[in-house]
């Protein structure tokens, strides 16, 4: 399957590490080793010829950017080697201002991820200091920060679970179907605060928020990789009673983890590119291995397509067939 690509001149002065479209696909944010974040308007799939906005505030390479849901305004978070997370907001005149500087980490902040908007303006951050932090915007305009140890030798990525339990879009959760709030009012829909983190300890961990203790607790540990886990992506929920998590690793593998409903235990399946992907040297990759380190994984909005970014310069698209096997349906060269 061929795909059209549109080159974009960003005017960055060094390597670009991340590029993210906003919720509506009308804005593109990029970040670079030149220590800047740039924001461009997108029209008909292409950036406008007019220069974009350049956001300056970091003192080191900027690894990742993340857009908040538009219900909170035009808000963008960025994470950097300088150990900081900066949150930016667009003003009415079109300029951008820094509204939050998060400095609790003592090493590079490698990843930032906004929670589903149903949970509020909440941002998770992963750092090389081994800690994960969660920033929560409060009604009084302040930000609360929780920080805890996630992975002993460094954390590379974070990704939020959908706000509702699997299948709850078509089947009410058992513990809320007949529940009622004080005063006889119907209970609020059952939502969960949960995210996954990927670490240099070769592990993926799942964290859940306990309202009774107001703390984050480790709910599960996924073991399967043999080297650093570079990225993790929790698939959006489309009402099916199953959860999907994709993980990418330095060991050149991608694992897709599935769990049926709220049952305990995750089942892992390794993507096998050996029959469809050829390495730059012209040889097929070993069974279950990609030709190079796998850096990023990302789900489509419906959660039925998985994009895999490999160190050989290729992006491949994968889809689960009716038999439950994952097939490569497209590949693109960078």
Rounded to the nearest 10°, the torsion over CA 7, 76, 36, 12 is 10
32-53 burial, b if ≥16 CB within 10 A, otherwise e?
A: bbbbbbbbbebeeeebeeeebb
Query: With contact defined as beta carbons under 8 Å apart, do 245 and 225 qualify?
Result: no
57 versus 1: which is more confidently predicted? 57
pLDDT of residue 252 exceeding 90: yes
User: Pairing relation of β-strands 36-43 and 46-47?
Assistant: antiparallel
pLDDT band at 203 (very low <50, low <70, confident <90, very high): very high
> How far is Cα 48 from Cα 64, in angstroms, rounded to an integer?
22
Q: Mean pLDDT for the chain?
A: 87
pLDDT band for position 167 (50/70/90)?
A: low
| 317, pLDDT greater than 60 | yes
Distance CA 26, CA 261 (A): 35
Global pTM? 0.87
Whole-number pLDDT of residue 276: 61
Q: What is the pLDDT of residue 47?
A: 63
Return the pLDDT at 286.
61
Question: Is the model more confident about 129 or about 171?
Answer: 129
The least confident of 32-36, 99-103, 196-200, 329-333 is 329-333
Question: Would you state the pLDDT for residue 54?
Answer: 94
Cβ contacts of 250 within 8 Å, gap of 6 or more: 225, 227, 228, 229, 230, 293
Rounded mean pLDDT of 69-91? 97
**Poorest-confidence range of 181-190, 247-256, 257-266?**
181-190
pLDDT confidence tier of residue 220, bands split at 50, 70 and 90: very high
pLDDT, tens digit (0-9, with 9 covering 90-100), for 116-128: 999 999 999 999 9
Q: Between 263 and 90, name the one with better pLDDT.
A: 90
Q: pLDDT value at position 61? A: 98
Q: Residue 33's beta-bridge partner residues? A: none
Phi, psi of 247 (to 5 degrees): -130, 140
Report how far apart the first and last C-alpha atoms of the chain are (Å, whole number): 15
């Amino acid at each position: 399957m061929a795909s059209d690509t549109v080159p974009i001149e960003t005017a960055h002065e060094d390597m670009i590490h991340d590029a993210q479209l906003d919720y509506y696909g009308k804005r593109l944010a990029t970040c670079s080793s030149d220590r800047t974040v740039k924001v461009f308007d997108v029209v008909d799939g292409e950036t406008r010829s007019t220069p974009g906005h350049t956001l300056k505030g970091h003192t080191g390479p900027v690894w990742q950017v993340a857009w908040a849901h538009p219900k909170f305004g035009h808000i963008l978070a960025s994470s950097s080697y300088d150990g900081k997370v900066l949150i930016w907001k667009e003003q009415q005149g079109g300029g951008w201002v820094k509204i939050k500087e998060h400095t609790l980490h003592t090493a590079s902040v490698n990843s930032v991820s906004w929670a589903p908007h149903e949970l509020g303006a909440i941002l998770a951050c992963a750092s090389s200091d081994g800690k994960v932090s969660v920033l929560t915007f409060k009604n009084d305009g302040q930000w609360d920060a929780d920080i805890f140890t996630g992975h002993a030798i460094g954390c590379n990525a974070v990704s939020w679970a959908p706000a509702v339990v699997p299948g709850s879009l078509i089947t009410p959760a058992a513990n809320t179907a007949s529940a009622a709030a004080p005063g006889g009012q119907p209970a609020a829909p059952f939502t969960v605060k949960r995210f996954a983190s990927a670490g240099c300890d070769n592990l993926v961990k799942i964290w859940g928020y306990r309202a009774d203790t107001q703390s984050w607790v480790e709910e599960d540990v996924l073991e399967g990789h043999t080297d650093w886990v570079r990225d993790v992506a929790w698939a959006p929920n489309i009402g099916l009673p199953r959860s999907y998590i994709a993980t990418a690793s330095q060991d050149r593998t991608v694992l897709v983890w599935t769990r049926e409903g709220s049952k305990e235990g995750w089942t892992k399946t390794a993507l096998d590119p050996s029959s469809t992907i050829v390495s730059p040297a012209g040889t097929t990759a070993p069974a279950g291995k990609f030709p190079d380190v796998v850096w990023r994984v990302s789900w489509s909005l419906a959660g039925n397509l998985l994009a895999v970014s490999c160190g050989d310069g290729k992006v491949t698209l994968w889809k689960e067939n009716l038999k439950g096997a994952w097939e490569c349906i497209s590949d693109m060269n960078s």
